[in-house]
């Protein structure tokens, strides 16, 4: 009888402890979050013929300029041969919103005659630090420019131009599949030649 009573007392405790262990394991599994590591790469930008338009104002309206550009170029029967490009000259945390300068660029064939309101140029090539952002650009999913510029400084490089973004956003893709390539042109600081002082006589 005592043995049966002992088993009846122990069994609920064992079940309770087992349930606690399973719950703890579930909580641990829920707390584990996979954080994708941001990578940076030193690359060479190619000179690219583009039709472009200079913009002033809120960067948040840049998407409208891209859509408008596609419509105007299509109406002018100008073929866009690459992904659209954004060039951003000012830091939105410093410059007033109404004074922010940017450019919207569309890769085209060489010597393309631009439509009214646009101009033609060949972008400069050069060395840049590149990183990739996956997914749609939203307030919650934005490039970490502080980390990007910190990396550039840590590598002993100097910023040599404005931020460049290339948008691989096919309308047939789900926004989660969008890819944005982000570039910051850089140069290596010139080495300072040390001149040995001649000993005085």
CATH 1.10.1200.10 is right for the domain spanning 41-187: no
Mean pLDDT across 2-11:
36
pLDDT tens-digit map of 52-99:
999 999 999 999 999 999 999 999 999 999 999 999 999 999 999 999
Record the pTM: 0.75
Mean pLDDT across 21-32:
50
Query: Which pLDDT score is estimated for 64?
Result: 95
Give me the chain's average pLDDT, please.
82
pLDDT higher than threshold 80 for residue 201: no
DSSP per position, the chain: -HHHHHHHHHHHHHHHHHHHHHHHHHHHHHH----PPP--EEEEEPP-EEEEEEEES-GGGHHHHHHHHHHHHHHTT----S--EEEE-S-TTTS-GGG-EEEEEEE--TTPPPPTT-EEEE---EEEEEEEEES---SSS---HHHHHHHHHHTT-EE-S-EEEEEE--TTS-GGG-EEEEEEEEEPPPPPPPPPPPPP-
- Per domain, the residue ranges of the chain are 1-33, 41-187
């Amino acid at each position: 009888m005592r043995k049966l009573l002992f088993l009846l007392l122990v069994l609920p405790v064992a079940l309770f402890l087992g349930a606690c262990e399973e719950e703890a394991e579930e909580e641990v599994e829920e707390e584990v979050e996979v954080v994708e590591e941001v990578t940076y790469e030193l690359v060479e930008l190619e000179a690219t013929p583009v039709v472009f338009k200079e913009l002033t104002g809120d960067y948040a309206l840049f998407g409208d300029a891209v859509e408008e550009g596609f419509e105007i170029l299509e109406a002018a029967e100008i073929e866009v041969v690459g992904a659209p490009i954004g060039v951003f000259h000012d830091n939105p945390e410093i410059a007033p919103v109404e004074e922010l300068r940017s450019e919207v660029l569309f890769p085209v064939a060489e010597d393309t005659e631009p439509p009214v309101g646009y101009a033609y140029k060949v972008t400069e090539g050069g060395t840049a630090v590149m990183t990739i952002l996956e997914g749609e650009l939203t307030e919650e999913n934005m490039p970490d420019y502080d980390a990007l510029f910190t990396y550039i400084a840590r590598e002993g490089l100097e910023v040599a131009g404005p931020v460049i973004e290339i948008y691989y956003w096919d309308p047939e893709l789900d926004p989660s599949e969008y890819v944005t390539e982000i570039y910051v042109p850089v140069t290596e600081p010139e080495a300072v030649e040390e001149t040995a002082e001649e000993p005085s006589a």
